[in-house]
Amino acid sequence: MIRMERSHVNPHVVLLPYPLQGHIKPMMSLAELLGSANFQVTFVNTNHNHDLLLRNTDITSFCNRFPNFQFRSIPSGLPANVIRSGLTAKDVFDAMKAMSKPAFRDLLISLGEETEQRQRPTCVIADGILCFLTLDVSEELQIPLLALRTHNASYSWIYFHLPKLIEDGHIPFLDENMDKPVAGIPGFENFLRNRDLPGTCRVKTSDDDYLLQFFIGETFAMTRASALILNTFEIEAPVVSLLGSHFTKIYTIGPLHKLRKSRMKDINSPSVSSSGILQKEDTSCMTWLNSQPPKSVLYVSFGSLVGLTREQMSELWHGLVNSGQRFLLVVRPDLILGEPGAGATPLAQNKGTEERNRFIVSWAPQEEVLAHPAVGGFLTHGGWNSTLEGIVAGVPMICWPQFSDQFVNSRCVSEVWKIGFDMKDTCDGSIIEKLVRDLMENKREEIMGSTDRVATMAHDAVNEGGSSYRNLDGLIEDIRLMAR
Ligand code: UDP
């Protein structure tokens, strides 16, 4: 058989997401985009997530669309529900270092044995908070590493400044200083308060401190990657340009879920609309939405990880019911802290739904729900994927952030982009009730102007000629050059 000249060969990209839903989904969108550019793609998950992902993927149709795509898995050394397992952050990262790092190295070596069908890896694209697994290995094997940070640019920019804030004694801060402005983070002086800082800054235990130091370490480690890829667009242009001082090259290609739809027209068929989802979607809510008036339903979801206390759940419920608005609520089986399985009875709760103007599911097809004409608002924890999905759908938001980047995201939603309200650090049914009424009725007009404007910016970015569209072309071209 005649072998292809190396210069004509399609690159082979190995993608490694951090093993959580909110990281896997955007990485999967990027993997599909590279697959549709005819790249060879190896998508690597930890064993447990690999099984969940394949269970939710129509493999035959997937392989027909992407013949050069393969799924691989490595062990993590962690239990299935790591978030509720009681393990400390140190336990988690130590286990991954011990199990996943050597397994990933072995996998790269085995992929390096070129076959007739497959080239040795051209580059690795790994989650930016997996540098502790990937940097040494990629440097040793001389495979360029690109970091995809699935949180936004603002969050990374803040992390670069935390060592100084710690040195100055600003972090950890006392509860009574929650509203104190944060000085010393360029670009954020006018709106950032202590309560908007990453959740890790609310140091209460030695494990919190470990996590804070760990993420600072990973943020600085990312600068050793050949490039940074960000799931963002023009709304963060100023901070992306500030981040440029730390990285050789930055590609902003967000919102990735919409870029995927814009570049791969064939996925607009319902059978292939979701991707990178680990849970089984309950589509019964779409039938219910079909019978609701336009813009009348508030969609309520806390993403894949957040847990609420029984008290928070009760305040939420009363706030929603007393607002008198229609709502679609996602209650994951593990949503209520300390009560595993408590939310697993949506069918029983939906009895008599027509009269009660509400519907409950354990996992929604979120992108489709937000795009449905009946949905007029989104009460969210403010995870970055959910925020981007709300932006693209042109749906204004109420954010009730609980940890991590959710605090800064919700501050940006309310104070910078003005596309919603921030409910930070409150737990009061009457506040929820008021904000829901404001969002759906009383203050709707005030907020829709900027919501529409930001949605248009997002659509412009991913359409042909837009910044994210062009930056993806640049990324594809640069990886092709690496393969020569
Ligand atoms: N999601 C979904 N259905 C649900 C809840 C969440 O499809 O019922 C998806 C959502 O569309 C988003 C992801 O799960 O893409 C959650 O990511 P995000 O960054 O918003 O939050 P995280 O789960 O990481 O806290």
Per residue in 429-451, pLDDT tens?
A: 999 999 999 999 999 999 999 99
The answer, yes or no, to whether any atom of ligand 1 lies below 6 A from the CB of 304, is yes
Q: What is the pLDDT of residues 261-310, one digit of tens each?
A: 999 876 655 444 678 999 999 999 999 999 999 999 999 999 999 999 99
What is the reported pLDDT for 345?
55
- Residue 393's nearest CA partner among 377, 379, 417 is 377
Which residue's entry shows tokens 């550019």? 37
Which residue's entry shows tokens 């309560």? 195
What is the reported pLDDT for 1?
40
The answer, yes or no, to whether any atom of ligand 1 lies below 6 A from the CB of 451, is no
The answer, yes or no, to whether any atom of ligand 1 lies below 6 A from the CB of 301, is yes
Which residue's entry shows tokens 């993806």? 472
Least confident of 125-129, 297-301, 320-324, 345-349: 345-349
Tally of residues, the chain: 484
What is the reported pLDDT for 3?
45
What is the reported pLDDT for 347?
55
Rounded to the nearest angstrom, the distance between the alpha carbon of 20 and the centre of ligand 1 is 10
For residue 174, with 0-12 CB atoms within 10 Å meaning exposed, 13-18 middle and 19 or more buried, which class applies? exposed
Given a contact cutoff of 8 angstroms between Cβ atoms, the answer to whether 53 and 17 are in contact is no
When the pLDDT of each residue in the chain is averaged and rounded to a whole number, the result is: 93
Instruction: Identify whether 478 is a catalytic site residue.
Output: no
| Angle, alpha carbons 440-386-146 (nearest 5°) | 155
How large is the average pLDDT for residues 314-318? 96
How large is the average pLDDT for residues 329-347? 79
Residue nearest to atom 2 of ligand 1 (CA): 366
Going by the DSSP 8-state scheme, the letter that residue 339 receives in this structure is -
- As beta bridge partners, residue 126 has 16, 147
The answer, yes or no, to whether any atom of ligand 1 lies below 6 A from the CB of 103, is no
Rounded to the nearest angstrom, the distance between the alpha carbon of 35 and the centre of ligand 1 is 23
Q: How far apart are CA 330 and CA 381, in angstroms?
A: 12
The answer, yes or no, to whether any atom of ligand 1 lies below 6 A from the CB of 382, is no
pLDDT class of 60 with cuts at 50, 70, 90: confident
- Residue 198's nearest CA partner among 169, 156, 167 is 156
Q: Which amino acid is at 412?
A: C
CA distances from 445 to 164, 396, 448, 457 (A): 41, 11, 5, 19
Q: Of 48, 127, 161, 422, which residue is the catalytic one?
A: 127
Q: Which helix (H) or strand (E) holds 167?
A: helix 153-167
Q: Which amino acid is at 376?
A: G
What is the reported pLDDT for 80?
81
Does pLDDT of 385 surpass 70? yes
- Residue 274's nearest CA partner among 29, 459, 18 is 29
Q: How far apart are CA 10 and CA 121, in angstroms?
A: 10
Please give the distance of CA 124 from its chain centroid, rounded to a whole number: 19
Q: Which atom of ligand 1 is nearest to the CA of 26?
A: 15
| Angle, alpha carbons 422-440-449 (nearest 5°) | 75
Q: 206-237: string of b/e by CB count within 10 Å (b at 16+)?
A: eebebbbbbbbebbebbeebbbbbbbbbbbbe
Choose which residue among 23, 366, 388 to substitute to test ligand 1 binding: the one with the highest number of ligand atoms within 8 A of its C-beta: 366
- Residue 451's nearest CA partner among 411, 396, 403, 410 is 396
Q: Which atom of ligand 1 is nearest to the CA of 304?
A: 23
| Angle, alpha carbons 126-67-388 (nearest 5°) | 45
Q: What is the pLDDT of residues 176-225, one digit of tens each?
A: 999 999 999 999 999 999 999 999 999 788 888 999 999 999 999 999 99
DSSP 396-424: -EEE---STTHHHHHHIIIIIS-SEEE-T
Does pLDDT of 82 surpass 60? yes
Q: Of 12, 23, 170, 381, which residue is the catalytic one?
A: 23
How large is the average pLDDT for residues 140-147? 98
What is the reported pLDDT for 328?
97
Which percentage of the chain shows pLDDT scores above 70?
A: 94
CA distances from 349 to 268, 299, 319, 374 (A): 32, 16, 17, 21
Q: How far apart are CA 102 and CA 221, in angstroms?
A: 19
Who has greater pLDDT, 65 or 129? 129
What is the reported pLDDT for 475?
98
How large is the average pLDDT for residues 93-109? 96
What is the reported pLDDT for 9?
75
Given a contact cutoff of 8 angstroms between Cβ atoms, the answer to whether 272 and 65 are in contact is yes
Does pLDDT of 228 surpass 80? yes
pLDDT class of 118 with cuts at 50, 70, 90: confident
What is the reported pLDDT for 343?
63
The answer, yes or no, to whether any atom of ligand 1 lies below 6 A from the CB of 277, is yes
- Residue 363's nearest CA partner among 327, 332, 337, 389 is 332
Given a contact cutoff of 8 angstroms between Cβ atoms, the answer to whether 218 and 136 are in contact is no
Question: Crossing angle for the helix pair 206-221 and 131-141, nearest 10 degrees?
Answer: 30
Choose which residue among 20, 21, 30, 282 to substitute to test ligand 1 binding: the one with the highest number of ligand atoms within 8 A of its C-beta: 21
pLDDT class of 326 with cuts at 50, 70, 90: very high
Q: What is the pLDDT of residues 230-264, one digit of tens each?
A: 999 999 999 999 999 999 999 999 999 999 999 98
What is the reported pLDDT for 171?
94
Least confident of 333-337, 363-367, 408-412: 333-337
Does pLDDT of 422 surpass 60? yes
Instruction: Identify whether 372 is a catalytic site residue.
Output: no
Who has greater pLDDT, 347 or 380? 380
